[in-house]
């Protein structure tokens, strides 16, 4: 990464974080949530028989992802060696202070470029969230991360989505003229704030409800509208980015966004969409939605022969991601759709009548088979195995699609 990018993050570490806040909350997100890593990259089983899990956060910034996963692994008492790598010493200091507040001892901090990642060894999991799109050569960055991957490991990435960032790039073009980089960063931010406050109703940035970074902090407005180097991707470009590095995707978050039938109900159009190859279907979903401001993907080596994604069967143990079972079960009323919002649009998702009772029994310990047996014993003795399997599969399709229900193995 060039000097302008480094200087930006030295002046304004991003995202802006106060280490004292670690005493009251844990920032969670994607990629790199432990439940996602386990589900998509390790077939539901992250246990390594006591061997430390080696993890690299390449471009870890102020530490959101590294702190999240380090805490989750510590909560499981799972040994780990986590390297937080970033070019900004200011960002590194924030991440180090956050780790110190939490008392995490499974993190090591390194200042440097992600292009040097292979020199740090091989890693079972590599995270690169919000960095590749700021590199002079993202393809070279992706190859460096692939080279740092240990056999059997996986990668989680996030890059900007072009269509969901509507309004950003015209505004960047304007601010190149009004707030050039030869001004002090604080002055540039001040000018940008004045422009944003006075935008007409026709302006694409003002009309885009998906973007809020420019409202939250000076670091946010600098990162969104005044960045020294910034590009965005559509689905085919993300797939190519992975392919040229010798990787293949195994999951996009959230999966429901990348199903074109999510965004259009016309049966004739749906039939035509169903005939497309999977990559084209995902591209079509993005073109229909026009609301994906980021793309989050998990990937493994293209020549890996096994399937790293957890398989749904009677022995799988379902887990809920960042939501209480009772609260979700209460929201799943028989005969009513579950309404969620994705990319600014409300989605009404149909679930089977058994969805609520199923979710109420998801505790991270009971297998799918154990949940079936409990329902047959306590709710409906006439419930057949096949009827339960169909209800669970339908529930899983929806709740995994919105990234709330994932699978582990005993």
The pLDDT of residue 410: 81
Examine the domain organization and report whether 221 and 275 are in the same domain.
no
Task: Please count the residues of the chain.
Answer: 410
Contact 376/383 with Cβ under 8 angstroms?
yes
| Residue 312 counted as domain residue | no
Q: Is the dihedral of CA 206, 210, 215, 219 positive or negative?
A: negative
Tokens standing for 336?
């009513």
The Cα–Cα gap between 162 and 291 comes to 9
Cβ neighbours, 10 Å, residue 222: 24
Cβ 242 vs Cβ 186: under 8 Å: no
Q: Sign of the C-alpha dihedral, residues 341, 165, 215, 24?
A: positive
The verdict on 255 and 189 lying in the same domain is: no
Residues 169, 247, single domain; the answer is: no
Distances (CA, A) of 322 to 27, 35, 319: 11, 10, 10
d(CA 56, CA 139): 18
In a domain, 11, yes or no: yes
**Is 311 a member of any domain?**
no
Q: Identify the bridge partners of residue 298 per DSSP, sorted by sequence position.
A: 156, 251
Q: What is the pLDDT of residue 114?
A: 93
Regarding whether 209 and 190 lie in a shared domain, the answer is yes
Q: Supply the range of the domain harboring residue 202.
A: 164-225
**Cβ contact 118:37 at 8 Å:** no
- Looking at the fold, whether 399 and 354 belong to one and the same domain comes out as yes
Residues 169 and 154 in one domain: no
Whether the Cβ atoms of residue 238 and residue 128 lie closer than 8 Å to each other: no
Looking up tokens 């039939």, which residue turns up?
271
Residues 332 and 395 in one domain: yes
**Global model pTM greater than 0.75:** yes
The last residue of one of the domains, among 191, 225, 259, is 225
**What was the pLDDT predicted at 121?**
96
- Res 308: pLDDT: 97
Is 183 a member of any domain?
yes
- pLDDT at position 216 is 79
Q: State residue 409's pLDDT score.
A: 93
Spatial distance between the Cα atoms of 352 and 26, rounded to a whole number of angstroms: 33
Last residue of a domain, one of 301, 336, 353: 301
Residue at 309 is within a domain: no
Q: Residue 62's closest CA among 27, 36, 34?
A: 27
Domain count, the chain: 3
Residues 220 and 330 in one domain: no
Is there a single domain that holds both residue 291 and residue 198?
no
53 lies in the same domain as 122: yes
202 is a domain residue: yes
Q: Same domain for 115 and 22?
A: yes
Is 143 in the same domain as 258?
yes
Per-residue confidence in pLDDT tens, the chain, 410 aa: 447 899 899 999 999 999 999 999 999 999 999 999 999 999 999 987 889 999 999 999 999 999 999 999 999 999 999 999 999 999 999 999 999 999 999 999 999 999 999 999 999 999 999 999 999 999 999 999 999 999 999 999 999 999 999 999 999 999 999 999 899 888 999 999 999 999 999 999 999 999 987 777 899 999 999 998 999 999 999 999 999 999 999 999 999 999 999 999 999 999 999 999 999 999 999 999 999 999 999 999 999 999 999 999 999 999 999 999 999 999 998 889 999 988 878 999 999 999 999 999 999 999 999 999 999 999 999 999 999 999 999 999 999 999 999 999 98
């Amino acid at each position: 990464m060039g000097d302008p990018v480094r200087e930006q993050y030295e002046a304004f570490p991003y995202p802006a974080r106060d280490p004292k806040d670690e005493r009251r909350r844990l920032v969670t997100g994607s990629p790199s949530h432990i439940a996602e890593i386990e589900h998509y990259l390790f077939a539901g089983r992250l246990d390594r028989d006591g061997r430390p899990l080696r993890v690299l956060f390449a471009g870890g910034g102020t530490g959101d992802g590294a702190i999240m996963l380090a805490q989750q692994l510590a909560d499981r008492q799972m040994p780990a060696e986590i390297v937080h790598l970033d070019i900004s010493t200011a960002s590194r200091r924030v991440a180090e202070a956050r780790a110190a507040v939490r008392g995490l001892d499974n993190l090591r901090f390194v200042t440097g470029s992600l292009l040097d990642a292979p020199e740090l060894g091989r890693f079972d999991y590599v995270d690169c969230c919000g960095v590749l799109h700021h590199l002079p050569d993202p393809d070279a960055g992706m190859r460096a991360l692939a080279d740092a991957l240990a056999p059997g490991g996986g990668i989680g990435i996030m890059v900007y989505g072009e269509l969901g960032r509507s309004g950003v790039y015209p505004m960047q073009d304007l601010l190149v003229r009004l707030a050039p980089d030869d001004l002090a960063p604080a002055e540039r931010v001040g000018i940008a704030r004045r422009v944003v406050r006075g935008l007409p109703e026709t302006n694409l940035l003002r009309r885009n409800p998906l973007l809020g970074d420019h409202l939250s902090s000076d670091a946010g407005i600098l990162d969104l509208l005044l960045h020294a180097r910034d590009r965005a991707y559509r689905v085919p470009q993300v797939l190519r980015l992975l392919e040229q590095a010798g990787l293949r995707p195994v999951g996009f978050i959230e999966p429901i966004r990348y199903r074109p039938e999510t965004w259009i109900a016309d049966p004739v159009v749906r039939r035509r969409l169903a005939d497309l190859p999977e990559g084209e279907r995902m591209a079509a979903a993005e073109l229909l939605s026009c609301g994906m401001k980021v793309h989050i993907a998990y990937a493994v080596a293209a020549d890996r022969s096994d399937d790293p994604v957890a398989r749904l069967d009677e022995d799988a143990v379902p887990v809920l991601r960042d939501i209480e079972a009772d609260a979700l079960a209460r929201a799943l009323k028989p005969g009513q759709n579950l309404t969620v919002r994705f990319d600014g649009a409300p989605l009404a998702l149909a679930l089977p009548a058994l969805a609520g009772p199923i979710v109420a029994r998801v505790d991270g310990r009971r297998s799918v088979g154990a949940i079936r047996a409990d329902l047959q014993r306590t709710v409906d003795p006439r419930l057949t195995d096949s009827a339960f399997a169909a209800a669970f599969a339908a529930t899983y399709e929806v709740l995994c699609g919105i990234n709330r229900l994932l699978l582990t193995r005993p």
